[in-house]
Amino acid sequence: MNSATYPLSRFIGPPLAGVLIGSGVPGLWVGFVTLGMLVAAGGAVLLARRLPSSVELPSR
């Protein structure tokens, strides 16, 4: 999944950041970054609940 999302973020991120920062409302860019971080953290928490405990920690 990481290899699928990485090119997409490199394609969409810079133009979106340029538009948001250049809009004259820099707080809008900060809001989008914060919202994206919260969505990613929420997704990680939900995924952690669904995964079995055997995949959470590497085997020793």
Residues 14-54: pLDDT tens digits?
888 888 888 888 788 888 889 989 998 999 889 888 888 77
Inform me whether the pLDDT recorded for 55 exceeds 80. Answer: no
CB atoms closer than 10 angstroms to residue 14? 10
Residue 37, pLDDT score: 92
Residue 47, pLDDT score: 86
Whether 40 and 49 have beta carbons less than 8 Å apart is answered as no
Inform me whether the pLDDT recorded for 1 exceeds 70. Answer: no
